[in-house]
Chains A and B, each alone.
Chain A
Amino acid sequence: MFTLGGILLLSVILGVSLGPVSIPIDTVWSVITYKLGFTPAGNWSTGVENIVWLIRLPRVLLAVVVGGGLAIVGVTLQALVRNPLADPYVLGISSGASVGAVLAIGFGVLASYGTLAISFAAFLGAVLAFLIVYTLANLGKRITPESLILAGIGVGYIFTGITSFITLTSNKRQLAGQVLAWTLGSLARASWFDLSLPTVTLLAITIYLVLQARSLNALIVGDETASVLGVNVDIFRRRVFTLVALMTGVMVAVSGSIGFIGLMIPHMVRFVVGSDHRKVIPLSLFVGSIFLIWADVLARGFYSTIDNPIELPVGVVTSILGGPFFIWLMVKTRLKRKVENL
């Protein structure tokens, strides 16, 4: 874990230093130490200062928070619904967030919040979707894995349909492109202000989940086993579901629906350390963060080599990059097991 912590720190440092505009690494760090009040101002331009302090640093830190957060949501949900294919989006929460975002982008809903309108509307959409899913899943007076997944998928379809309907019938010419970019996920919105809520949410919920890791371990085996081990399955599932839904809403609100991380990072970590949540939760946090930092470095600078300023939605990079890596890890693990079984 210390190794991963080191890699994370190194990734943050490199992530801030790399970008479409080449700024010498010592300038980058002089700007940061100056902004933190440790060193005097140098002779860099305001533009360079703004690129480092207002674009890159908040963006890399947001990658840490969102990458870690989505990975942890993934781990927790996969245990909660005992389904290895669960991810932060299976519960329909991101679809609700999309409707909010589309209303903000397309119709200027909450426009008085300025550039925060999209995040705020997305969060409200996520909360609405959560309330509907929760109510539906709770109809049988007990929340089971099946009821959660089915309610989530159903609600997800409805909200996805609404998003498409608004996008396609809107009289806003560029809306389709903007909505596509949003739903693919991007960290370009990062600002210092945007960082605060996700960071607090991530820290608080991660600490709670690490403390409850044994209960999650029990839950994977089965509801009855968990009960025997002293877990009040019903209350625990409600509580954890509410917390991960909240965290998904907060993350999606600032970054759109970035794919792959929530689904795959937990599996990668389990391939390596097994399925004990006391290890899987903190390790997923680190791996998710590191992975998203590097995916975003590529998203920001992918085309800059051929002098094109275009930015890719980071979700595109996470999928293209993460898919093959995941398959490689899966094949390697399978082959290793085969050798061990011989």
Chain B
Amino acid sequence: MNNHFVFTLSLLVTVSLLAGCATSTGNESPSDNTSTYPVTVESCGESITFDSAPKRALSFDTNMTEIMLALGLEDKMVGYWISGVPVADEYQEQVKDIPLISTETWPPPSLEVILIFDPDFVFGGWNYNFSEESGVTPEKLAATGVKSYVLTETCIAVGMQPDESLESTYTDILNIGRIFGVEARAIELVNQMREKITAVQSKIVNVDTPLRGFYYGGGADTAFTAGKYAMATKMMNAVGAENIFGDVEDDWIPAAGWEKVIELDPEFIMIDDTPWESAEQRIKTLESLPQLASITAIREKRYIVLQWTYILPGMEMDEGIEALAKALYPELFP
């Protein structure tokens, strides 16, 4: 416990020191409009330096693509890839002239397919498009002269200490803004998201006992669920609820046994509607397992279905938090 505290403390000090010389956290003021190159950002602990803004960028999967589009970078993009969920309606106009890297929704495009686009920058994430098995990694791309920025939440896949707050997503938006010289826009977007989330949180201050939640991402023998560092947990925490597995030092838990779930008896179950398995199918599976019948959330059918992009780090995070709050406290959001 003590060690953990000291570590957290030193981490905080380090972060604030770093913040002093790089971007500041908290409410950023849009003072400097353009980045001055060279710009250096951290991607999974590695410093990446840009001498100028990339001109031929690729983005992988819906949430990264939306960050690019929200920053108005469609002119700098030569391709994008989604694993099944199209970008939100508000970005459709921007995305319509950008070619899809591959219409195949899974597995992600191979290295060759990526290189055909002659990119100078790739924005992706581990276990989205990057994986050691497929051979598509930031190192492999760097060897061909392509720079990468990796979604911070996914850096846990390469052993980085993750964060328990929503800050890493803001950091990603700000870093992409700096890389492309549109930092002012990035700061504006981050501030808007912060405000929206704060507005939601201000309505739920009077919740006494946090509701116990369980994130269910499929599985019948065991459950795919979320630990401390997963977005699903961060979202529950943000709206004053708690994940029954919120203390487990992990991001995603691929095979949780049912015994603990039954014992901890969640009051609601958060389910995402994914391209590869619908929420409807997931609820059907839950209700077909007789051993789960005693669970409060299942008896009361308190399933909170969120669209997949809502539980990903990205531009829809604030909408996800709002949707979760509305579903949990309908009386507070008339």
Contacts and interface: CB of A to CB of B under 8 A. Distances in A.
Interface string A135-167: 000000000000000000000000000000000
B61 to A, nearest CB: 11
B285 A55 contact: no
A311 B294 contact: no
Contacts of A35: none
Contacts of B265: 47
B260 interface: yes
A177 B256 CA distance: 13
A308 B246 CA distance: 10
Interface string B243-280: 00101111001111111111101000000001011000
Given A21-B262, A171-B105, A309 B295 contact: no
Contacts of B245: 309
Given A46-B294, A310-B254, 17 more contacts: A21-B259, A47-B262, A50-B262, A114-B288, A169-B107, A170-B106, A171-B106, A173-B83, A174-B277, A188-B222, A191-B290, A304-B260, A307-B248, A308-B248, A310-B256, A311-B222, A311-B255
A20 interface: yes
Given A181-B255, A189-B221, A307-B247, A50 B290 contact: yes
Contacts of B21: none
A100 interface: no
B221 A186 contact: yes
A210 B217 CA distance: 47
B255 A310 contact: yes
Contacts of B274: 173
B92 interface: no
Contacts of A56: 259
Interface in B213-238: 217-222, 224-225, 227
A-B residue pairs, 4 tightest by C-beta: A188-B221, A46-B294, A54-B291, A171-B106
A191 B288 CA distance: 12
A189 B257 CA distance: 11
Contacts, number: 106
A47 B263 contact: yes
Interface in B273-317: 274, 276-277, 285, 288-295
Contacts of B220: 115, 189
A13 B292 CA distance: 23
Nearest to A304: B260
A46 B265 CA distance: 11
B42 interface: no
Contacts of B249: 308
B294 A50 contact: yes
Given A21-B263, A171-B106, A309 B276 contact: no
5 contacts: A55-B259, A115-B285, A115-B288, A171-B276, A309-B260
A144 to B, nearest CB: 39
Contacts of A189: 220-221
Interface in A1-58: 19-21, 45-47, 49-51, 54-56
Interface in A296-342: 300, 304, 307-313
A34 to B, nearest CB: 15
Interface in A174-193: 174, 177-178, 181, 186, 188-189, 191
A285 B145 CA distance: 61
Contacts of A311: 222, 255-257
Contacts of B107: 168-171
A304 B289 CA distance: 22
A3 to B, nearest CB: 31
A174 B276 contact: yes
A173 B106 contact: yes
Contacts of A309: 225, 245, 248, 253, 256-257, 259-261
Q: How large is the interface on B (under 10, 10 to 19, 20 to 34, 35 or more residues)?
A: 35 or more
Given A172-B106, A173-B276, A307-B247, A51 B263 contact: yes
Nearest to A193: B290
Given A178-B219, A186-B221, A188-B221, A115 B260 contact: no
A300 B256 CA distance: 10
B97 interface: no
B259 A19 contact: yes
Nearest to A114: B288
Contacts of A313: 255
A169 B105 CA distance: 11
Most chain A CB neighbours (cut-off 10 Å) among B217, B225, B285, B290: B290
B99 to A, nearest CB: 20
Contacts of B28: none
B291 A50 contact: yes
A177 B133 CA distance: 13
A341 B258 CA distance: 54
A304 B260 CA distance: 9
B104 interface: yes
A89 B277 CA distance: 32
Contacts of B285: 115
A308 B291 contact: no
Contact of A51 (B221, B222, B224, B262): B262
A5 B178 CA distance: 71
Interface string A57-76: 00000000000000000000
B215 to A, nearest CB: 12
A115 B258 CA distance: 15
B266 to A, nearest CB: 11
Nearest to A169: B107
A114 B245 CA distance: 27
Nearest to A312: B255
A181 B209 CA distance: 37
Given A173-B276, A188-B257, A307-B247, A45 B224 contact: no
A308 B253 contact: yes
